[in-house]
A = this chain, B = another copy of it.
Amino acid sequence: MEHLEKHERMQMWQNIQQALINEQMDQFRAEFLELHPYDQAKIFEEQDEDIRFLIYTYLSPEEMAEVMEHVDRDIVNEFISEMVPAFAAKIFEEMSTDDAVDILNELDKNKVASFLTIMNKESSEEIKQLLHYEEKTAGSIMTTEFVVINHDMTVKEAMRHLRKEAPEAETIYYIYVVDSDKKLVGVISLRDLIIAEGDWLIQDVMSERVVSVPVGEGQEDIAQMMRDYDFLALPVVDFQNHLLGIITVDDIMDVMEEEASDDYSKLAGISDVERFGDTALQAAKKRLPWLIALLFLGMFTANIIARFQGALEQVALLAAFIPVIAGMAGNTGTQALAVAVRSISNGDMDKIGKASVIWQEAKTGVITGTTCGILITLIVAFWYGELYLGILVGISIMATLFVATIAGAFVPLVMHRFNIDPAVASGPFITTLNDIISMFIYFGLATAFMNLLIGGG
C-alpha cells in the first residue's frame, strides 16, 4: 500500500495505538475517524480483546458499522459474538443491508433470529427479505439502499429527492426510474441528470433501454455482464420487472476475486479456498479429500501396472519411463482442462461450439504429441542406446498426449452439459485419469512388441 507515505502511516498507527493504551477517547476518535474504513478495520483486527472492548465503547454503532463492513469476512463473526447483543444489533441496523446479510448468513440461525428481534422493525424487515435469497445469486449480493425516482418527476424534483436520499444510498450515480406500478422503466446517470434542464421531465431524459438482471441470476454471469458493459451498478428485478434492489461494482469486484480464487483452488485440487488464518489441521482437511480420492484412483493405476508384471520382469528398464509418460499425460490434460474451463466461464465456449473445441484440441494433441514423441525417441535412442525402447516410449507419449488432450477438454464439457461446475473437474482428477490411460497405452504396447524389446535390448 503506497498510497499513504509509509512513515506517515506508521506515525498515525502509533498515535492511535498510544491513545488506546492511555485510554484517551477524544485523541483516539480524532485520529481514527480520519482514516478510510478499510484502514480502520485493519487496525481494529490487530487489537487484543481488552482494547477491542474499549473501542466498542469509544465508537458509535454507526461508526462501528463502517469498520465491520471492512473487517475480513472470515473473522468478523468472532467480533460480533463478543459484543453486547444490543450493540451488535444496532451495528447491523446501520450497515449496508447487503453487508449485514452477508455477515448474518455465516452466523448461527438462533443468533440471527435474536438479532432480528432486537433490531428496529424497518431494518429487520429489509434484512429478512434478503436472507431468503440463495447464495451466489443476484438476490444475495444486491442492496436495497438505492435511489429510485418516478418517471413523471421533473429533473429539479429528482435532484432534490437525490440530495435528500444521497447519504443513505449505496450509489447515486445511476438513478433508476419506475412507473406508478413500481415497475422499472428507465435509468438516468447522475452525469446526464446534472446537465439536463431543471423543468424537463425524467421520462424525456432517461434511457429506456435499462439493463437489469433477474433476482435468481448467478453472480458469475452478473460479474461478466458488468465487466463487458462497464456498468457501475445493475438493477435487480423480479419476473414482473419490479425493482427489488441494485448491485454495485464494489461488490462485483469481490465476486470476481472470489470466483477467481475458487477456480484456481479447484485446479490445484483444494476442495475449499484456504484462508489466511487457517490452522494446519483446517488446511489439511481441505486438501485431504482430493489426496485420498487420488490415492484410491492411484491404486487402479498400480493394479494395471501389476498386471503387466511379466513385462516388467523381462525389461525392468520399462519402469524408468513410467513417471515421464504419466506426468506428460497429466500435464497436457491439465492444460487442455484449464483452457476449456476458462472458455466455458468467460462465454467463449458458446461462441465456438463444443464440437469445434474438441476438434481443435485433437489437432493440438497431434502437434504436441508428435513433437514430444519424436524428441523422446531420439533421447532414449541416443542416451540409453535403446532404439526399440525409444520408439516404444515415443509412440506411447504421442498416443498418450493425443488422448489426454482430448480427455482434458472433454471432461469439463460433459460436466458443463450436465450443469455441474466444470471447475470441479480439477487438475488432479484429470491427471490421475490420464495416468491410468497412459499406463494402459504404454504397457499394452510394451507387451505387444516384447520380442522386439528383448531382441533390441
Contacts and interface: CB of A to CB of B under 8 A. Distances in A.
Contacts of A139: none
A144 to B, nearest CB: 18
A284 B361 CA distance: 9
B228 A38 contact: yes
Contacts of A268: 267, 334-335, 337-339, 427
A317 B310 CA distance: 10
Contacts of A38: 228-230
Nearest to A383: B299
Given A4-B211, A268-B337, A276-B352, A257 B331 contact: no
Contacts of A260: 256, 260, 263-264
A364 B320 contact: no
A323 interface: yes
Interface stretch (A17-25, A79-87, A108-116, A301-309): A301-309
Given A260-B264, A302-B320, A172 B191 contact: yes
A440 to B, nearest CB: 12
A34 interface: yes
Given A313-B316, A372-B292, A331 B428 contact: yes
Nearest to A276: B348
A182 interface: no
A234 to B, nearest CB: 8
Contacts of A252: 253
A1 B350 CA distance: 11
A215 to B, nearest CB: 11
A291 B431 contact: no
Contact of A229 (B36, B290, B331, B352): B36
Contacts of A212: 3
A23 B361 CA distance: 40
Given A36-B229, A256-B253, A287-B335, A431 B330 contact: yes
A327 B249 contact: no
Contacts of A305: 319-320, 322-323
Interface in A351-377: 351-352, 360-361, 363-364, 366-368, 371-372, 375-376
Interface in A211-243: 211-214, 217, 221, 225-230, 232
Interface in A267-285: 267-270, 274, 276, 280-281, 283-284
A387 B159 CA distance: 82
Indicate the member of A211, A268, A323, A363 with the most B CB atoms within 10 Å. Answer: A323
B3 A274 contact: no
A361 to B, nearest CB: 8
A225 to B, nearest CB: 7
A399 to B, nearest CB: 15
Indicate the member of A253, A281, A366 with the most B CB atoms within 10 Å. Answer: A253
B328 A295 contact: yes
A250 to B, nearest CB: 4
A200 to B, nearest CB: 15
Nearest to A282: B364
A270 B301 contact: no
A163 interface: yes
Contact of A264 (B338, B366, B372): B338
A235 to B, nearest CB: 10
Given A162-B194, A163-B195, A317 B306 contact: yes
A312 interface: yes
A298 B320 CA distance: 10
Q: Give 3 nearest A-B pairs by CB, closest first.
A: A298-B324, A268-B338, A280-B363
Given A163-B195, A299-B383, A312-B312, 19 more contacts: A166-B194, A249-B253, A260-B264, A265-B342, A280-B361, A288-B367, A291-B328, A295-B375, A298-B324, A298-B327, A305-B319, A309-B316, A312-B319, A313-B316, A319-B322, A323-B435, A327-B330, A330-B330, A334-B428
11 contacts: A2-B217, A230-B250, A249-B249, A260-B264, A274-B339, A288-B372, A291-B328, A291-B401, A294-B327, A298-B323, A326-B326
